[in-house]
Chains A and B, each alone.
Chain A
Amino acid sequence: MATIDADHVSVDFPLYHGSARSLKRAMFAAASGGRIGKDAQKRVVVQGLRDVSFHLAAGDRLGLVGSNGAGKTTLLRTLAGIYEPVRGHVRVCGSLNALLDPNLGMNPDLTGRENIALRGLFAGLGRAAIRRLEEDVRDFAALDEFVDLPVRTYSSGMVVRLGFALATAIHPEVLMMDEWFLAGDAGFMDKARVRLETLVRGAEILVLSSHVHQIVARWCNRVIWLEKGRVVEDGAPGEVLSHYLARDQEDEPAASDAVPFTASLAADGAGALLQESDRGGLR
């Protein structure tokens, strides 16, 4: 049975820019006892997630809502094991597929068939299963003979179809989905919708991040509202969504917990608290 446990999870992002990326400066700063080039060690850290805890079991359909930069994608990446928590504990049982990047690992110089085979190898499929994956993706994406041509020769529509078909071909127990999957709803073919819904229904656990609250309301049986990396509310979709939408309309949420200097940055879309850190070196 698939489960997800997040226990007091915090994630920090170091924002390296300019001199913080330079070894020469870091060494110069160290050699001069920190008197010169101290800025090389002062890094800005974005608090991506703050003390997030929840437990999901088979049958749970979790929706993540929140404004831009609230930490939805960071949480998805942390649950997928891409970002490792700075504090806390993440534990996921079950095969996992995270639909985070539409062109995940797609190499435009390789043919469609080669790209499909690589994805199959990553999923640990055998030769026969990879051949079936190939057929499934080729048919769904309507690639026909293009499957043996490099992806860079494809029309943009074909690239989108290939990316979508590949991402949705392998059915995991734990499915994480970022909102791009639901973007461009108007152009979303019926065929694709059916395929996506099959995938979602087949997964034991779904974690979905979306702006479109209708989709969250329809697909999810639990919603977590994130703001600045913290859980604001966690509960049934109807309740949380109504609070979230009500808060949304208040225009400017009370920035009581944000220090004045970070408020402008938060409005810029960074969204999380910023802090200076003195830890240098390989952190």
Chain B
Amino acid sequence: MNPGDPDLAAPPVALRLKTAGDTMLDLVAGLGFSGRQRQAVADFAEAGRLWRLGATLAWLDVKGRYRGSMLGPLWLTLSTAVMVAALGFLYSTLFKMVLHDYLPFLALSLVLWGYLQTLVAEACLGFTQNDAMIRAIRMPFSLYGGRIVLRNLIVLAHNIIVIAVVFAIFDTWPGYRGLIALPGLLLWLVDSLAITMTLAALCARFRDIPPIVGSVMQIAFFISPVIWRPELIHHGARFLPLNPFYTLFEIVRAPLLGEIPGGIVWGSALGYSALLVVLSWLLFVRVRGRLAFWV
């Protein structure tokens, strides 16, 4: 042991990790539900403490994807704009709708759907893609989930430009009434994290889930009022609130189009969300300790 260079012999003080006596790892096997739940809560608390890391990772993900391209993430905005314009003209003719009514609706729907679809697809890879990381360091699993949600929120924020432009062209600003969409967006945020954690865990265990999820999403896209207006259904419209995609879209979309979503729509959205959150939490509590073995 030869100390050699004195500069290297002593590390910079700031880089020494000292503890206040509370840095502790306490892992007990065979815990009951409440013990596992405490560990799951600790997982989320730790992820909250590391939020700067999560935000940086999410931002670098978006930046990395578009590194070297001139427009950066605005490429996405552009492609969404082209899609909205193309589908808008085509379907307004097919459905015989006035462009002024239809295009704001379509812009909102497609941007939200794009967010949901990408989120779900990336959630399926949430843990399996980070297998090396998971096996090399103890990091809260909810941080992997939060990173995916944040990354997609950043992309969503870029796409809002498309909606704003459409609203400006057709002069359909919702005014203050649009603020009623905020609670809906909050619900989306909670649901996003829940669905991401659920799919990431399930896909780590069962590798044939991503294609199943892909098919489900495709079917949902066509049978839900995403590109067609819900008013087009005359018979059986009262069954629409049974479709969680419809009600979750409606609580954000309707206020921005100057309508107020009804109680049934909100009730359905809240009910489905509660179910999703509870199931997702139970699953996470159950499998968190096994995830490192699965990836």
Interface, chain A (partner B; CB < 8 A): 9-10, 13-14, 16, 21-24, 26, 77, 80-98, 100-101, 103-105, 107, 109-110, 114, 117-118, 121-125, 128-129, 132-133, 136, 140, 150, 169-173, 190-191, 194-195, 197-199, 201-202, 282-283
Contact = CB atoms under 8 A, between A and B. Distances in A.
B292 interface: yes
Interface of B: 1-5, 8-12, 14-19, 21, 23-30, 49-50, 52-53, 56-57, 60, 64, 67, 132-139, 202, 205-209, 212, 283, 286-287, 289-290, 292-294
B212 A124 contact: no
B27 A89 contact: yes
B206 A121 contact: no
A83 B15 contact: no
Nearest 6 CB-CB pairs, A to B? A101-B136, A23-B206, A95-B17, A81-B138, A121-B53, A84-B289
Contact of B52 (A85, A109, A121): A121
Contacts of A124: 17, 49-50
Contacts of A95: 17-19, 23
A104 B136 contact: yes
A194 B9 contact: yes
Given A87-B30, A100-B136, A105-B136, A132 B12 contact: yes
Contact of B50 (A16, A121, A133): A121
Given A128-B14, A171-B15, A171-B16, 16 more contacts: A10-B29, A23-B208, A24-B208, A80-B137, A81-B138, A83-B292, A85-B29, A87-B29, A100-B137, A101-B132, A129-B15, A169-B15, A170-B15, A191-B8, A198-B11, A282-B283
B92 to A, nearest CB: 41
Contacts, number: 173
13 contacts: A21-B208, A23-B208, A24-B208, A82-B134, A89-B26, A93-B24, A95-B17, A98-B138, A122-B50, A125-B14, A125-B15, A201-B1, A282-B283
A82 B136 contact: yes
Given A89-B29, A194-B5, A114 B60 contact: yes
A42 B248 CA distance: 41
Contacts of A121: 50, 52-53, 56
Given A87-B29, A132-B14, A190-B4, A98 B287 contact: no
B17 A172 contact: yes
B80 to A, nearest CB: 24
A194 B29 contact: no
B281 to A, nearest CB: 14
